[in-house]
Structures are given as structure tokens and as C-alpha cells.
Amino acid sequence: MVTPTSEHRRKSVTGAWLEGDDPGDRQFISIGSLTLESGDLLEDVNICYHSWGTLNSARDNAILVHHALTGWSDVPGWWPSMVGPGLPFDTDKYFVICPNVIGGCQGSTGPSSIAPDGQRYGSRFPILTIRDMVAAEVAFSDVMGIKKYRLAVGPSLGGMRSLEWAVQFPDRVGAICTIGSSAVATGDQIGTASIQIRAIKSDPHFHGGDYYDQQTGPIEGLGIARRIAHLTYRTEAEMDVRFGRELQGDDTGRYAVESYLDHQAHKLAHRFDANTYISLTEAMNSHDIGRDRGGVAAALAAITVPIVVVSIDTDRLFPPRLQAEITELVPTAQKLQTISSPFGHDGFLVEVEAVGEVIRHALTLG
């Protein structure tokens, strides 16, 4: 086990706590070294995780929750009313576990972590793919003694990882649920993401990714990236109805929507690391379930475990056609579950009652 130290808690120059400041009772575990798809060796990999409920003697009641891009391992902190007695992730029945993804900044090994040479990785942190993240989760599961999960579930980036589990490790999941996600990153997603990455790297305080010993980090670049991303998470209709052309009324001359986006940027910059944002975004860009598997159709057609696919009807980042593609091509896919929400991609965070009902159903399949 790895215990938090003062080094884990040092404040970063972007405002986020390096190695995490998420609430709750974090735990740390070492999975050893991990050979990545690139051929690089990531040494001494630590995983931060949260868990709820009790793993039964048969070790067959575990649920693996995959967080999204800027999520973290404390599920109730970002997915309210989902974990607990009688809730969709019913802790009276299940052992619910959520590891912070590798490349993260909330406790698992990532760019802000200390490398074997005693310095922070920074620009030296290797390129990650979705498959690398899943490989780390499999190693983590082995150390935890969990051979098979009742369900692997996650939204967005988490849905990508859940789908990869179904393709690569069907003997280790009873079922999966992928929410507001896709089988492959689209050109539109990659294009939007590339602008966000450019914003961070163009910040004069980025220092090529080695800003941890500087007085100021790329806060402005990270903030711009978040503003761009947040517009893709919500909907045009919500922005117009909620803010329209109203001014903020604070003598700054800002429109109300500008103030809202400034707030979102400020919140992220004070809990997240810019290098992590780049690393995880690039991993999402690399997502292609069909790579080296004969294409998307062939990879999805080979899936044998039950799959529940959830779509948000107003999602403009992961439009419903991407979820429809999965259900059409996976032989074991259930009927596409479409949730109506005015909040776009973020509907998975807001429409917890509807999402919860889908998860309850998915748990009957594993």
C-alpha cells in the first residue's frame, strides 16, 4: 500500500493539488511497472482509488466505475445520489470501486507524479492510450484479487474504457454500461480537443510541460481549454435560454455567459493539472476500438458480453448516432437507452434518476 505523504499534497502551480485533493477516504495501491502500447515502461505505478460496500467471500459482487476526463475516484463527489444503500450502486449488495485513471492528477501516477529519478515527470510523461488505461485497471484488479466484475460502467472517457474491457477482457466482466460515449473518436471531437491542447501549450507559463517548479503555471491556457470544452458539454439552447445576451452586471462589461464560463475555468484550474488534461485528452483522441482488430464493425461484432448503451438526446460532443452505432454492431447489445435532457453531454451528471434506472437494469445482466 502507498500512503499519502506531504509530497503527495504539495500544491501545484496551476492551483490543483498534485496527486489529488478529492474528498473522501482515498486509498493507494502499487501495481508495479506497466509496459505501454508505445513500448515505454512506466515504472512504479500507483493507483488511487475509492471503494464502498463489502467484497463478498466469492468476490463476485464488484462493480467497476470508470470516471470521465476531469472526474476522479470519489464517485459521490461527481455523480451524486448514485452510490449508497438502496441507490443504483447499492452498497448493501455490491462492492463498488473506482480507480483514478493513470495519467491523472488525483492520486494515480501521472505527469505531476515523482518519476524514479526523484523529479516530476512533466514533459517526460509517456503518451497514453485507452488500452494503456485499461491495462493498468486490469493490473489493479489483479492486485485487489478481483477476477471478474459484475458490471463495468462509465460515462464519456469512462465509457470508452468500459467498452475496451468488453472487447479485450470479456471473461472479466459480466456486463458493461457505456454512457454518452463512442467506439471511436470522431474528427469533430479530435478537432475541438486539439484546440484545447493548443491553448494550454500556448500559455507562456507552460514551459514545455515542465512548470512544476515555477511560480506560475498555465492557468490561463487550462482555463481557455475548459471554456471551450464546457460549451461542448452543454447545449446551444441552454446557453441561449439561460444567459442569452444578458450582461453580468458587475461593471466588467462581460456577458453573463462569459462570467459563467470564467467560473467553470476557475473551478477546474484549482483542482486539475494542465499536463493531465493534455494526457487524458490525447488518450481520448487515440480511441479506436477497431484499431488492429479489423475495424470498428469487426471489433464490435466480436463482443460477447451484454452491453447497455446510454445516449443523451441533446449531446453535441458525443451525438446519439455514435451510441446507435454501438448498439447496431454489437450482437449482445440491449436496446439503446435514450435519456432526454436539456443539458447535453453533462446530462449523465444531472439526470441521475434516469441514469440510475438504466444502471439497475444493467446490473441484472452481469
**Length of the chain, please?**
366
Give the amino acid at 109: T
CB 186 within 8 A of CB 319: no
b vs e for 248-287, b when ≥16 Cβ sit within 10 Å of the residue's Cβ? Answer: beeeeeeebbebbbbebbeebbebbbbbbbbbbbbbbbbb
* Rounded Cα gap, residues 192 and 214, in angstroms: 29
Is 279 designated active site?
Answer: no
Q: Which residues, 6+ apart, have CB-to-CB distance to 39 below 8 Å? A: none
Is 230 designated active site?
Answer: no
**Which residue in the list 21, 74, 315, 346 is annotated as catalytic?**
315
Give the amino acid at 147: K
CB 331 within 8 A of CB 303: yes
Q: Which residues, 6+ apart, have CB-to-CB distance to 165 below 8 Å? A: 64, 134, 137, 149, 152, 172, 173, 176
**Which residue in the list 156, 162, 286, 311 is annotated as catalytic?**
156
φ, ψ of residue 105 in degrees (nearest 5): -130, 20
CB 323 within 8 A of CB 218: no
Q: Please report the beta strands in 129-271, taking only residues with DSSP state E, as ranges in sequence order.
A: 151-155, 176-179
| Maximum pairwise Cα distance, the chain | 63
Is 315 designated active site?
Answer: yes
**Which residue in the list 50, 230, 287, 345 is annotated as catalytic?**
345
User: What is the signed CA dihedral for 228, 229, 230, 233, rounded to 10 degrees?
Assistant: 130
Nearest to 15 by CA among 280, 257, 276: 276
Provide the annotated active-site residues: 156, 315, 345
